[in-house]
Amino acid sequence: MKHLVVINNPRVAQAFVDYMAVLNIECQLAPAEQGVVVILMDEQHLEKAEYELQQFLANPSDAKYSAASWKVADSRKATFSYGGKGMVKSAFLAHAGPVTLAVLAISAVIFALMQMGFERSLILNLTIPPDLSMLLSADFWRVISPIFLHFSIIHIAFNGLWWWQLGGEIERQLGSSKLLLITIVAAVIPNVAQLLATGPFFGGLSGVVYALLGYCWFTGWLRPQTGLQLNPAIVGFMLVWLVIGFMDVVGPSTANLAHLFGLFVGCAQALLDRFVTTDKSKAV
């Protein structure tokens, strides 16, 4: 998928989507902050789509666009809701890829099971083993599984929101494999650091969230062409929250080292990607 343009008038945007359908190029609409975003579903048509978009923006009232709307009106695969619950759902799904949604779903299911009386069993089986040698056995996956444990509705809501926002943005711009790689590394290293500092009983996505924050922050600075950009106010808020955690103002159960090492992991991955990309471009 590729985001082509944000148009402030949904009905005008629909005319372009209908015209592209006549050309057998599938586009869809999703809500954006200042209108709707036109999404190209198959990037192999990117060059053609960008050309047609420029033609459309130069003269959106051309009769061929209204004619296209009439032609495809009865055969649209989906309709775009201009408001209400459908708009919220559309915006949520448009911002999240399969990895983003899978992690949210797993976390939600585990949290629900914990509320149903399975908390003790899940904590015993999903927390990282106190003996690191166990990670070389069949329980190696438990170095990652603590990211799915959340201990209150505020905990999962806060982490889930930031995961959806940052993880969804990375997945949209750089693909599912990149988000999955960052997530795995940002689970393993911060979890081991937190284990060595406080023991095995901790959990949550917050260490990964800080890795995503660091990755978006540094990538927006080092490779702005990727489209990853963070408002400095968001970075400032999260860094202040990190410092507050070490002050024990919000409670001693905060996994502060997981947050800190997560931030380091994200920044380091962004630096690595910057140099790897540079090296590849020089080789070409």
**206 noted as active-site residue:** yes
Question: The domain at 97-283 falls in which architecture?
Answer: Up-down Bundle (1.20)
Is residue 39 within 8 Å of residue 74, measured between CB atoms?
no
Q: Rounded to the nearest 5 degrees, what angle is found at the Cα of 100, between the Cα atoms of 180 and 159?
A: 105
Which contiguous run of DSSP H or E holds residue 177? helix 176-198
- Other C-beta atoms within 10 Å of 268: how many? 16
CATH class label, 2-93: alpha beta
- From 66, 152, 259, 281, the catalytic residue: 259
Structure tokens, 28: 């869809």
Domain ranges for the chain: 2-93, 97-283
> Secondary structure of the chain: what % helix, strand, coil (to 5)?
70, 5, 25
The CA dihedral of 67, 69, 75, 81, to the nearest 10 degrees, is: -170
pLDDT tens-digit profile of 51-77?
999 999 988 888 888 888 787 765 555
Cβ contacts of 230-239, under 8 Å, gap ≥ 24: 238/210, 238/213
Helix axes 98-113, 153-162, angle to 10 degrees: 180
- From 81, 206, 253, 281, the catalytic residue: 206
CA distance 123 to 226: 38
User: Per the confidence metrics, is the pTM higher than 0.75?
Assistant: no
Looking at every residue in the chain, the average pLDDT score rounds to: 83
pLDDT tens-digit profile of 108-134?
999 999 999 999 999 888 888 777 666
Q: Residue 152 has what DSSP assignment?
A: S
Residue tagged 């003996």 (tokens): 131
pLDDT tens-digit profile of 92-101?
666 778 999 9
| Residue 225 banded pLDDT, cuts 50, 70, 90 | confident
Name the E strands within the chain.
2-7, 27-32, 35-40
